[in-house]
Amino acid sequence: WLCIPFSLNHPAVKSMSMDIHDWFGVLPSRQIGQYLDCGLLLILGGVPWQVYFQRVLSTKTAFKAQILSYVAAFGCIIMAIPPMIIGAVGRVTAWNETDFTGPYPLDKNHQSLILPMVLQYLTPPFVQFVGLGAVSAAVMSSSDSSLLSASSMFARNVYKLMIRQNASEHEVVWVMRGAIVVVGCVATAMALTVQSIYGLWYLSSDLVYVILFPQLVCVVYCKKHCNTYGSLAAYIVGLFLRALGGEDIIGIPAIIKYPYYSETDGQLFPFRTFAMLSSFATLLGVSTLSIWLFESGTLPPNFDIFHCVVNIPEDIIKVQEPQEGELSTLNTSVPKTYLASEMNGRVNPALVTDEDSFVDGGKSGAYTSNPVRSANEIKAEKSSLLSNKDGTVTVTRL
């Protein structure tokens, strides 16, 4: 926003009239599938990103997560306005009237450098300093957070869960440090190879859309019908179909030529969406098949190498999680009953809350919850332990 008023008032910036410039392109009918493919990629490919759902999952309530998402969507619209204006300024600028010594009209290599060119040639020096500093800070912030998130996901989700489940926290930290070095080297090599930063972002969104989007949808909405076998198979299928479709950004040729393939325009078929849907179907299909094979006895339990269907260790069996708010609020509407066998070392009578009292003088070995009382009554009551002659313990209220 700071550079916009200065760049608009530069003498080399001409009129933005609709009569002078053609601001709307033409979409040929043969590229409709490609256009829809890229549109779905940009819309849905940004949902499973680590930077987004990490913050969504860290919210305390689902309502706050919804508010965060709506505010973020509105913020994206607001923050998209300055790039649009800067791009329009670069389009109508007569660069031969500035200190720019490159070709005019601009070639494709310089078109991707519109932002630094506008800051350098159309704004005063102090605006250049602030603008380039802000861009550098944003790039460094995104870079280190991406390196850390990728390394931490590898250390936790791959090394800890799949390679060494008994690894200590100290070992996981060192694995994460090593992963930071490896990911940093790979990112540096990609940055030196690929010429367009937007191309890298687009390629990342492409892979997230094809591989991770089906995984996230199934985990959230179809978690009873998916498991590790389906997830692994879907990952392989999605990556296989996408990689063989080719990618010009990193120089991968098209091995699979989908329908309507053109030597000049490339893949015109929406093959990214096709790979995503294939990954989605594979996840559900393989998961359902694996569940049927193990539960029907067709495959023995020891074949469940991922321990996610029938061969589940007892120490990692998950119990039903409490509903939202139950961790901090005692639910007195449901009676609590304890068996006599639980009284031996599992339930300490001295720790019985005000809402609990023994029944039958403690003879039955069970106690239930009293009806809900007012806050003043609960606050005024105290519990004391009285020993009976027969050795039982009775809780009375004073």
Radius of gyration of the chain (CA): 31
Which DSSP string corresponds to 191-250? HHH-S-HHHHHHHHHHHIIIIIHHHHHHHHH-GGG--HHHHHHHHHHHHHHHHTT-BTTT
| C-alpha separations of 42 from 78, 106, 201 in Å | 17, 27, 11
Q: Around Cβ 83, how many Cβ atoms within 10 Å?
A: 11
User: Which pair of structure tokens corresponds to residue 142?
Assistant: 């995104």
Model pTM above 0.75? no
Q: How far apart are CA 234 and CA 252, in angstroms?
A: 22
Phi/psi for 365 (5° steps) reads 75, 20
- Work out the angle at residue 151's Cα, subtended by the Cα atoms of residues 143 and 207, and round it to the nearest 5 degrees: 70
Q: Do you know the residue count of the chain?
A: 398
SS3 labels along 248-266: CCCCECCCCCCCCCECCCE
Written as one string, the DSSP assignment of 125-152 is HHHHHHHHHHHHHHHHHHHHHHHHHHHH
What helix, strand, coil percent values describe the chain, rounded to 5? Answer: 60, 5, 35
Per-residue pLDDT of the chain (398 residues; tens, 9 = 90+): 788 888 888 888 887 776 655 667 777 888 888 889 888 988 888 888 877 877 888 888 889 989 988 998 898 889 888 888 888 888 888 888 888 777 777 777 777 778 888 888 888 888 888 887 887 887 787 777 778 878 888 888 888 887 888 888 888 899 999 999 998 898 888 778 777 777 777 788 888 999 999 998 998 888 888 888 999 999 999 999 998 888 887 778 888 888 888 888 888 889 999 999 999 999 999 999 999 998 888 888 888 888 787 766 665 555 555 554 444 444 444 444 444 444 444 444 444 444 444 444 444 444 444 444 444 454 444 444 444 445 454 444 44
Name residue, tokens 């919804």.
Answer: 66
Domain boundaries, the chain: 1-17+49-123, 212-317, 340-397
Half-sphere exposure in the Cβ direction for 35 (13 Å, CA): 8
Counting Cα atoms < 13 Å in the Cβ hemisphere of 235 gives: 10
**32 φ, ψ (degrees, to nearest 5):** -65, -45
Residues 6+ apart with CB under 8 A from 369: 332, 334, 335, 336, 355, 356
Query: Can you tell me whether residue 394 is helix, strand or coil?
Result: strand
- Cβ pair 336, 368 in contact under 8 A: yes
For residues 38 and 229, give the distance between their C-alpha atoms in angstroms, rounded to a whole number.
29
**What CA–CA distances, in Å, run from 361 to 3, 22, 201, 320, 393?**
80, 90, 70, 32, 7
